[in-house]
Chain A
Amino acid sequence: MNALAQDIRFALRTLWKTRAFTAIALLALALGIGANSAIFTVVNSVLLHPLPFPQPERICQIYTERFGDFTGMPDGTFVEFQKQTTAFVNISAINGGATSLTGIGEPAAVHGASVTPEFWAALGVSASLGRTFRTEQEAANVTVLSNKLWRTHFNADTSVLGKVVNLDGAPHTIIGVMPPSFGFPGDSELWTPLAVKIEKNREFAYLVIGRLKPGATLEQARAETKIIAQRLQPSKPRAGEGVGVVSLQEFVVGSIRPSLYVLLGAVGFILLIACANVANLLLARGAGRQQEVAVRASLGASRPRLIRQLLTESTLLAIAGGALGLLIALWGVPLLVKLVPPGMIPRLEEVGMNRQILLFTFLLSLATSLIFGLAPALHLSKARLAESLKQDNRRISSAQGLRSVLVTAEIALSLVLLIGAGLMLKSFVRLRSVNPGFNPESAFVLTTNLPDTDQRSTQQLIQYHSQVVEKLTALPGVTSAGAVNWLPFNDALIRGDFYSEAGSRPAAHFTVSKPGVTPGYFPAMGIRLRNGRLFDARDTERSPRVAIVSQSVARRAWGGQDPLGRRVTLEDHPEAKDWLTVVGVVDDVKQQNLAEKEPVAAVYQPMAQVDSPFFLYQMAYVVRAAGNQAALPSLMRSRFREVDPNQPVQLMSTMDQLVSATTAQPRFYSRMLGSFSAIALLLAGLGLYGVMAYSVAQRTREIGIRVALGAQRSDIFRSVMSKSALLVLAGVTLGLAGAFGVTRVLQNLLFDVTPTDAATFVAVSVLLALVALAATYIPARRATTVDPMVALRYE
Chain B
Amino acid sequence: MSSPILTLRNVEKYFEHGPTKTFVLRRINAEIKEGEFVSIMGPSGAGKSTLLHLLGMHDSAWTGEYYLVEHAIHKLNKKDRMELYKKYFGFVFQSYHLLDSLTVYENLDIPLSYRNIKKGERDSIVCDVLDRFQIVGKKDLYPNQLSGGQQQLVAIARAIVANPKIILADEPTGNLHSNQGKEIMELFKKLNEGGTTIVQVTHNERNAEYGNRVINIADGWITDTGS
| 19 additional A-B residue pairs with CB within 8 Å, beyond A6-B113, A299-B91 | A13-B101, A292-B100, A295-B97, A295-B99, A296-B114, A298-B56, A298-B97, A299-B110, A299-B111, A299-B114, A299-B158, A300-B82, A300-B162, A389-B170, A391-B49, A391-B95, A391-B170, A391-B171, A391-B174
**In angstroms, how far is the closest chain A Cβ from the Cβ of B159?**
9
Which residues of A lie under 8 Å from residue B9 when comparing CB positions? Answer: none
Kindly state the separation between the CA atoms of A14 and B99 in the bound complex, as whole angstroms.
11
Cβ-defined contact, A291 with B97, below 8 A? yes
Q: How far does the alpha carbon of A13 sit from the alpha carbon of B103 in the complex, in Å?
A: 11
Name the contact of B58 in the complex, choosing from A14, A298, A301 (C-beta under 8 A).
A298
Residues of B within 8 A of A (CB): 49-50, 53-54, 56, 58-59, 79, 82, 85-86, 91, 93-95, 97, 99-102, 110-111, 113-115, 118-119, 158, 162, 170-171, 174
Count the A residues whose beta carbon is within 8 Å of the partner chain — how many?
22
Q: Give the B-binding residues of A (Cβ under 8 A).
A: 2-3, 6, 10, 13-14, 17, 291-292, 295-296, 298-302, 305, 385-386, 389-391
Whether A389 touches B93, Cβ cut-off 8 Å, given contacts A300-B85, A300-B86, A300-B162, is yes
The answer to whether B110 touches A296 (Cβ under 8 A) is yes
In the complex, how many angstroms separate the beta carbon of A306 from the nearest chain B beta carbon?
A: 10
| A300 lies within 8 A of B58 (CB) | no
Q: Pick from A14, A300, A391: contact of B94, CB below 8 A.
A: A391
Which residues of the partner chain B approach A301 to less than 8 Å between Cβ atoms?
Answer: 110, 114
Cross-chain contact A298 with B50 (CB below 8 angstroms): no
Q: Look across to chain B and name the residue whose beta carbon is closest to the beta carbon of A11.
A: B101
A388 to B: closest C-beta gap in Å = 9
CB pair B53 A302 closer than 8 Å? no
Chain A contact residues: over half helix, strand or loop, or mixed?
A: helix
Q: Which 3 A-B pairs have the closest CB atoms?
A: A300-B114, A385-B58, A386-B59
Known: A300-B82, A385-B53. A3 touches B59 (CB 8 A): no
- Taken together as a complex, chains A and B put the C-alpha atoms of A296 and B99 apart, in Å, by 8
The minimal Cβ–Cβ distance linking A497 to chain B, given in whole angstroms, is: 83
Instruction: Report the Cα distance A17→B142, complex, angstroms.
Output: 13
Contact, CB under 8 Å: A302 / B82: yes
> In the complex, are the beta carbons of B99 and A389 less than 8 A apart?
no
Contacts of B54 in A (CB 8 A): 386
Q: A17: nearest residue on chain B (CB-CB)?
A: B101
Q: A337 CB to closest chain B CB, in angstroms?
A: 45
Residues of A within 8 A of B113 (CB): 3, 6
Q: Give Cα distance in the complex from A3 to B112, angstroms.
A: 11
**B110→A390 contact, CB < 8 A:** no
How far apart sit A291 and B58, CA to CA, in the bound complex (Å)? 13
A292 to B99, CA, bound (A): 6
**Which residues from chain B contact A302 at a C-beta distance below 8 Å?**
79, 82, 114
Determine the chain B residues whose CB is within 8 A of the CB of A389 once the complex forms.
53, 58, 93, 97, 170
Please tell me if the beta carbons of B119 and A2 are within 8 angstroms of each other in the complex.
yes
In the assembled complex, which residues on chain B have CB atoms less than 8 Å from the CB atom of A300?
82, 85-86, 111, 114-115, 162
Return the contact of B91 from the options A2, A3, A14, A298 (Cβ within 8 A). Answer: A298
Known A2-B119, A390-B53: A385·B59 in contact at CB below 8 Å: yes
Q: How far is A298 from B101 in the complex, measured between Cα atoms in Å?
A: 17
Residue of B53, B79, B94, B114 ringed by the most chain A CB atoms within 10 A: B114
Q: Which residues of A contact B101 (CB under 8 A)?
A: 10, 13-14, 17
A287 CB, nearest partner CB in chain B, Å: 15
For residue B115, which residues in chain A have a CB less than 8 angstroms away from its CB? Answer: 300
**What separation, in Å, do the CA atoms of A368 and B56 have in the docked complex?**
38
CA of A3 to CA of B102, assembled, Å: 15
13 contacts between A and B (CB under 8 A): A3-B113, A295-B99, A296-B99, A296-B110, A298-B56, A299-B111, A299-B114, A300-B162, A302-B82, A385-B59, A389-B53, A390-B170, A391-B170
- Min C-beta distance of B166 to chain A, whole Å: 14
A751 and B199 alpha carbons, distance in the complex (Å): 78
